[in-house]
Amino acid sequence: MLNIQSVHKKYGASSVLNDISFQVNPGEIVGLVGENGAGKSTLLHIIATLQKASSGTLSLDKIPYKGRLKTVRKRIGFVPQEIAIWEDLTVEENMIFFEKLAWKKRSVSALRQLCLEMELHKWKEKVHTLSGGMKRKLNIAISLIHDPELLLLDEPTVGIDLKSKQEIMHYLKKLAKEEGKTIIYTSHDMDEIMNLCDYTYCLGQDAFYETFLTERGQEVIALS
């Protein structure tokens, strides 16, 4: 379980996050929405241990972030909005490279199987020859090499085709329901949020997203 209590984040005199508290249980896929500048990426970065909160507490599976960051990091997979892979390497070479940096070691056959489960059948092809959807799948596969229990995805399907979006969402549902992974997913595509997420947290003072999703039957919880 991810547990966040009274998290604040300030940059100088500017406050980005104010008293954010929520929890996410294993096996849940939770949406995180809000207008640009509401703090979605900042919150994801704090959860991913890439930034520190100005105040408040976080814990994962009852392990506190404070004083245990290295332990917590081993349990988290993070997929940034920007594709972070080596364009001049093949899919295989990318997976092997990032496996060497991962907390958990995997065989080459296990790495390939991870890609195949995501419908990423390219293996020997260089990344720069792949479609946007294939690159996004590889980005996600890399984040799963160390088998994290918490997966954070920051708009992972931006600019890709519908088929790839559907395949990614199908795979994420499988990870949650069959493997019990906890998933937090940000997107400006409300169809994705409604089709993928069990419920949604809404950041920011603008009630547009909260109203839009609620009217379409999505459970929405306002965070600020």
pLDDT at 224 over 80: no
Given a contact cutoff of 8 angstroms between Cβ atoms, the answer to whether 1 and 24 are in contact is: yes
pLDDT at 17 over 90: yes
Q: Which residue has the higher pLDDT, 58 or 11?
A: 58
Q: How far apart are CA 221 and CA 32, in angstroms?
A: 10
Q: What is the DSSP string of 134-203?
A: HHHHHHHHHHTTT--SEEEEESTTTT--HHHHHHHHHHHHHHHHHH--EEEEE-S-HHHHHHH-SEEEE-
Task: Give 124's DSSP letter.
Answer: S
**To which H or E segment does residue 3 belong?**
strand 2-11
Measuring CA to CA, how many Å separate 141 from each of 15, 79, 158?
34, 9, 16
Burial 83-108 (b: 16+ CB within 10 A, else e): bebeeeebbbebbeebbeebeeebee
Amino acid 13: pLDDT? 85
Amino acid 117: pLDDT? 95
pLDDT, tens digit, 9 for 90 and up, residues 51-62: 999 999 999 999
Q: Residues of the chain with pLDDT > 70: what percent?
A: 100
Amino acid 26: pLDDT? 97
Nearest Cα to Cα of residue 152 among 95, 98, 76, 82: 76
Amino acid 12: pLDDT? 87
Q: How far apart are CA 116 and CA 77, in angstroms?
A: 19
Beta bridge partners of 2: 24, 60
Q: Give domain limits for the chain.
A: 2-85+150-222
Amino acid 204: pLDDT? 87
Structure tokens at 49: 């241990």
**Homologous superfamily (CATH) for 2-85+150-222:** P-loop containing nucleotide triphosphate hydrolases (3.40.50.300)
Angle at CA of residue 5, ends 77 and 55, nearest 5°: 90
Amino acid 2: pLDDT? 97
pLDDT, tens digit, 9 for 90 and up, residues 60-78: 999 999 999 999 999 999 9
Q: Residues of the chain with pLDDT > 90: what percent?
A: 89
**To which H or E segment does residue 60 belong?**
strand 55-60
Q: How many residues does the chain have?
A: 224
Residue 103, Ramachandran bin (φ over 0: left; ψ between -120 and 50: alpha; else beta): alpha
Amino acid 33: pLDDT? 95
**pTM of the entire structure?**
0.94
pLDDT at 222 over 80: yes
Instruction: Give the torsion through C-alpha atoms of 56, 183, 122, 112, to 10 deg.
Output: 90
Given a contact cutoff of 8 angstroms between Cβ atoms, the answer to whether 52 and 43 are in contact is: no
